[in-house]
């Protein structure tokens, strides 16, 4: 990717990673980008670097604008290695006068890369530095995505460099939101939010309130992944407001796996009950859907209904996978239930319910289990469970 001017004398010198397909458990089936921003001012400043294998591409991009040795300042907004992986080599190449980062980032940089005589300068929340014509204000955004994270705001350009926040894992030849379909862009942003930021929703709410209180004029939001919000920063800010409130729609998700189709039949029967109540639903077979796509659906769905047969005194491994992943993402305000078949011991449903209770999912009674194959009566019970969940969804999303 060639550098792209995003504002006068401000360039995205980052790289596109077309090949990545897994990002710590998240299916990045459309790749991603590692954006880095170069501001050409009296003090030439680079905001973030890129994943280590792409360091030469970053240097190559910088070269197209200026000799990297002309860079005065490096800002490390976030230490996760997709952004800091090439910090040691970039510092070696550019020999910056100063490297700005948060106090937590200083510790994290040392923990990742050891002690070096780097010119690290810790900045505080709200602190400003001058680049010449421009100033940069640093805003600490702890846990969005790591304790070290911060935003960099340039008031003269009304530009918010937002690190992980407002990003998307989507490799494109385009750079800006108005060069792609907004619905698809928001879909990628929702997946990103659900899989990365959902556990920190309360902090996102606080951050949005703080930004409103500071009355920051934001004309452009430049995240470190994906496309830059040039035309519709309002759209992503509004979406983050909705997602971080975990506002659920009148929807249900049936997440299941099956061994000999018994649990699958139960899943379809539960779906019939939901349909009778006029509640929108999706069936997501764990053999056909990646956990990160399921979690994207979870984001705005009220009811989560899990189905697994019993295997070796427990649930199927695919079900354990999604429950473990989901628990870490801390969804809130959900209701749901569980179902499944068994041969002789039948622990799966009980174990699923225990996980659901740990996630504070309100259980709609009764979870249903059946020995071997569901007959007409059992399927009728599953339909009734679907109806009951459907009614509860309607009551709670009215
Ligand atoms: Fe894109 Fe938390 O790193």
Q: What is the pLDDT of residue 225?
A: 98
Cα(104) to ligand 1 centroid in Å equals 15
The whole-angstrom separation of Cα 4 and Cα 195 is 28
Tell me if 72 sits within 8 A of 46, measured CB to CB: no
Please list every protein residue whose CB sits less than 6 Å from any atom of ligand 1.
78, 80, 82-83, 145-146, 164, 224-225
User: Domain check: are 147 and 73 in the same one?
Assistant: yes
Query: For residue 161, what is the DSSP state?
Result: E
Q: What is the pLDDT of residue 143?
A: 87
Number of structural domains (the chain) is: 2
For residue 360, how far is the Cα from the chain centroid?
21
Task: Look up the domain containing 260 and give its range.
Answer: 252-390
User: Domain check: are 269 and 292 in the same one?
Assistant: yes
- Could you read off the pLDDT of 172-198 as tens digits, one per residue? 999 999 999 999 999 999 999 999 999
Dihedral sign, CA of 37, 147, 355, 398? negative
User: Domain check: are 217 and 321 in the same one?
Assistant: no
User: Domain check: are 101 and 47 in the same one?
Assistant: yes
Q: What is the pLDDT of residue 171?
A: 98
Q: What is the pLDDT of residue 54?
A: 98
pTM: 0.96
188 is catalytic: no
Cα 286 to Cα 183, 235, 306, 322, 338, distances in angstroms:
26, 32, 10, 8, 15
Q: What is the pLDDT of residue 53?
A: 98
DSSP string for residues in 79-127: -SHHHHTTHHHHHHHH--SEEEE-HHHHHHHHHHH------EEE--TT-
Tell me if 37 sits within 8 A of 75, measured CB to CB: no
Q: Indicate whether 397 belongs to any domain.
A: no
Q: Is 398 a residue whose pLDDT tops 90?
A: no
192 is catalytic: yes
Q: What is the pLDDT of residue 211?
A: 87
Cα(83) to ligand 1 centroid in Å equals 7
Read off the CATH number of the domain in which 210 is found: 3.60.15.10
Atom of ligand 1 nearest to the CA of 196: 2
> Token match 């009614």: residue?
391
User: Domain check: are 182 and 316 in the same one?
Assistant: no
Of 212, 244, 276, the domain-final residue: 244
Catalytic site residue from 192, 240, 281, 342? 192
Whose CA is closest to atom 1 on ligand 1? 164
- Could you read off the pLDDT of 321-373 as tens digits, one per residue? 999 999 999 999 999 999 999 999 999 999 999 999 999 999 999 999 999 99
Q: How close are the terminal C-alpha atoms of the chain, in Å?
A: 48
Q: Indicate whether 236 belongs to any domain.
A: yes
Of 244, 266, 290, the domain-final residue: 244
The whole-angstrom separation of Cα 135 and Cα 331 is 38
Across the range 112-129, mean pLDDT stands at 97
User: Domain check: are 236 and 333 in the same one?
Assistant: no
Query: For residue 3, what is the DSSP state?
Result: -
Cα(32) to ligand 1 centroid in Å equals 11
| Percent of the chain topping pLDDT 70 | 100
The whole-angstrom separation of Cα 387 and Cα 389 is 5
Q: Is 6 helix (H, G, I), strand (E, B) or coil?
A: strand
Average pLDDT of the chain to the nearest whole number: 97
Q: Is 1 a residue whose pLDDT tops 80?
A: no
User: Domain check: are 360 and 282 in the same one?
Assistant: yes
- Could you read off the pLDDT of 10-56 as tens digits, one per residue? 999 999 999 999 999 999 999 999 999 999 999 999 999 999 999 99
Cα(145) to ligand 1 centroid in Å equals 6
Q: What Rg value do the Cα atoms of the chain yield, rounded? A: 24
19 is catalytic: no
Across the range 91-101, mean pLDDT stands at 97
The whole-angstrom separation of Cα 201 and Cα 203 is 5
Catalytic site residue from 17, 41, 57, 82? 82
Within the chain, what is the greatest distance between any pair of CA atoms?
77
- Could you read off the pLDDT of 266-299 as tens digits, one per residue? 999 999 999 999 999 999 999 999 999 999 999 9
Of 197, 228, 244, the domain-final residue: 244
26 is catalytic: no
For residue 313, how far is the Cα from the chain centroid?
34
User: Domain check: are 226 and 270 in the same one?
Assistant: no
Read off the CATH number of the domain in which 358 is found: 3.40.50.360
Q: Indicate whether 396 belongs to any domain.
A: no
Catalytic site residue from 140, 164, 224, 277? 164
Copy the structure tokens of residue 77: 């907004």
The whole-angstrom separation of Cα 392 and Cα 385 is 11
Catalytic site residue from 37, 57, 83, 145? 145
24 is catalytic: yes
Instruction: Spell out the residues 6+ positions from residue 244 whose beta carbon is closer than 8 angstroms to its own.
Output: 197, 201, 202, 204, 205, 208
Of the candidates 41, 50, 45, 148, which has an alpha carbon nearest to the alpha carbon of residue 99?
A: 45
200 is catalytic: no
Across the range 212-223, mean pLDDT stands at 94
157 is catalytic: no
The whole-angstrom separation of Cα 102 and Cα 27 is 30
User: Domain check: are 293 and 162 in the same one?
Assistant: no
Q: Is 230 helix (H, G, I), strand (E, B) or coil?
A: coil
User: Domain check: are 266 and 362 in the same one?
Assistant: yes
User: Domain check: are 239 and 195 in the same one?
Assistant: yes
Q: Indicate whether 395 belongs to any domain.
A: no
- Could you read off the pLDDT of 238-261 as tens digits, one per residue? 999 999 999 899 999 999 999 999
Cα(151) to ligand 1 centroid in Å equals 13
User: Domain check: are 201 and 306 in the same one?
Assistant: no
């Amino acid at each position: 990717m060639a550098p792209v001017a995003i504002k006068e004398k401000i360039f995205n010198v980052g790289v596109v990673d077309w090949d990545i397909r897994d990002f710590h458990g998240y299916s990045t089936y459309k790749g991603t980008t590692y954006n880095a921003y170069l501001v050409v001012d009296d003090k030439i400043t680079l905001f973030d670097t890129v994943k280590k294998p792409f360091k030469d591409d970053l240097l190559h991009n910088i070269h197209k604008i200026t000799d990297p040795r002309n860079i005065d300042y490096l800002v490390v907004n976030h230490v996760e290695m997709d952004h800091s992986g090439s910090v040691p080599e970039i510092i070696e190449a550019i020999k910056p006068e100063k490297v700005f980062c948060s106090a937590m980032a200083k510790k994290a940089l040392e923990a990742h890369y050891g002690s070096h005589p780097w010119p690290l300068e810790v900045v505080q929340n709200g602190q400003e530095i001058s680049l010449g014509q421009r100033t940069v204000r640093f805003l600490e955004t702890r846990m969005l995505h790591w304790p070290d994270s911060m935003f960099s705001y340039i008031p003269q350009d009304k530009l918010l460099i937002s690190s992980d926040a407002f990003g998307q894992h989507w490799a494109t030849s385009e750079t800006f939101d108005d060069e792609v379909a907004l619905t698809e862009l928001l879909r990628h942003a929702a997946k990103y939010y659900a899989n990365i930021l959902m556990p920190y929703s309360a902090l996102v709410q606080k951050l949005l309130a703080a930004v409103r209180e500071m009355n920051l004029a934001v004309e452009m939001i430049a995240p470190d992944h994906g496309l830059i919000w040039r035309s519709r920063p309002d759209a992503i800010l509004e979406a983050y407001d909705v997602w971080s409130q975990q506002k659920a729609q009148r929807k249900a998700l049936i997440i299941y796996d099956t061994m000999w189709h018994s649990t699958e039949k139960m899943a379809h029967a539960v779906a019939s009950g939901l349909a009778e109540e006029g509640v929108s639903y999706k069936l997501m077979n764990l053999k056909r859907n990646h956990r990160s796509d399921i979690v994207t659906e979870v984001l705005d769905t009220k009811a989560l209904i899990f189905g697994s047969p019993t295997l070796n005194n427990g649930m199927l491994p695919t079900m354990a996978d999604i429950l473990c992943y989901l628990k870490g993402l801390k969804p809130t305000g959900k209701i749901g239930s569980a179902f499944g078949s068994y041969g002789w011991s039948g622990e799966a449903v009980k174990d699923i319910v225990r996980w659901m209770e740990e996630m504070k999912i309100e259980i709609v009674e009764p979870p249903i289990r059946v020995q071997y194959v569901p007959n007409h009566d059992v399927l009728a019970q599953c339909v009734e469970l679907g109806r009951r969940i459907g009614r509860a969804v309607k009551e709670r999303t009215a």
